[in-house]
Amino acid sequence: MGKPAFSDFVSIRDFTKEQINEIMRNAAKMVPYARGEKKTNVMSGKILGTLFYEPSTRTKLSFEAAMLRLGGATMGFSSTAGTSIEKGENFSDTIRVTESYADILVIRHPLEGAARLAADLSEKPVINAGDGAGQHPTQTVLDLYTMLEAKGKLEGLNIVLLGDLKFGRTVHSLAEALAMFGANLTLVAPSSLEMPRDVINQIESMGVKPNYAHSLEEAISDADILYVTRIQKERFADPTEYAKVSGSYRIDTKLLKQAKSDISVMHPLPRVNEIDPEVDRTPHSLYFRQAANGIPVRMAVLCMLLGVEP
């Protein structure tokens, strides 16, 4: 084991462009292992503790698969039912006990800041797998990695971010990271779900001035990537308003005919009705690839946090 590349993975804001590039280079090396084409045991004897204070089976499975593909083991909880937390235990006690059982912790928590607190408390590395309206940094890296893999570069790419830009957690860090990498951003959101002002400010401070499109057709006309997010019904007080919005933001092959021929469509999944299944069978579809890329990216992050040669 070598020296860890960094001590925790809490927010994408903690990392430089060069560090993110290094994670992505390591992720690329992980691909044959992630697919099970090659075998490694570098994490043999190591334990990943998965502390999911709110359920997120998909994210949990992705981290578990990453650890198992490296030859390591996992244990943890997928909700607070039946845990000491229900018996009144405070967050820091749970962290201090479970860090003595595991080598590395991945935490999902409904409250923003929880992963940061855990990282401060724990001597073992902590990965943030989503903290409320806060960060979900491995999602951001796998999004960047998927774009880079598909387009060969990030700088100068025209990227449309579509949907719930207000509450969609992943899209805030993604927008900031894309700005750092010099991509051009176009934002398309219903007026009640627009990108928060502080994220815009952050992006603009990095020298990127996002565009705002009046229509989806206009937005995608010169886009390289259309990044779609789920619009949650429960965000709308008025169901007819939801129906109107979700209908006008539905991606199908007819719409994509108005875009560049090599436009790629991404989505962090799960999707509900945002993308017509007919798009799945076209070369535009990148979202299943994106989900699969979660494994090599998380493998790279696990290795770098534990100082294991990837």
Token couple for 156: 């100068």
Check if the beta carbon of residue 305 is closer than 8 Å to that of residue 1: no
Cα–Cα nearest to 206, from 176, 231, 172: 176
CB 151 within 8 A of CB 178: no
Query: What is the CB-side half-sphere exposure of residue 234 using CA atoms within 13 A?
Result: 2
Verify binding: residue 57, a copy of itself, rule CB under 8 A. yes
The one catalytic residue among 17, 25, 58, 233 = 58
| Residue 44 found at the interface with a copy of itself (CB under 8 A) | yes
User: Is 62 or 186 the residue whose CB approaches a copy of itself more closely?
Assistant: 62
Selected from 2, 17, 32, 83, the binder of a copy of itself by CB under 8 A is 83
Q: Among residues 80 and 140, whose Cβ is nearest to a copy of itself?
A: 80
- What is d(CA 218, CA 58) in angstroms, rounded to the nearest whole number? 34
User: Any contact of residue 173 with a copy of itself (CB under 8 A)?
Assistant: no
Q: Do 303 and 70 meet the contact criterion of CB atoms below 8 Å apart?
A: yes
The distance of closest approach from Cβ of residue 96 to a copy of itself in the complex, given in angstroms and rounded to an integer, is: 5
Task: By CB under 8 A, tell whether 182 contacts a copy of itself.
Answer: no
Nearer to a copy of itself, 41 or 261 (CB): 41
Rule CB under 8 A: choose which of 15, 53, 77, 145 binds a copy of itself: 77
Q: Is 143 in the site for a copy of itself (CB under 8 A)?
A: no
First to last CA, the chain: 10
* 290: helix, strand or coil: helix
Task: Please pick, among 108, 116, 230, 267, the residue that the annotation labels catalytic.
Answer: 108
User: Which are the catalytic amino acids?
Assistant: 58-59, 87, 108, 136
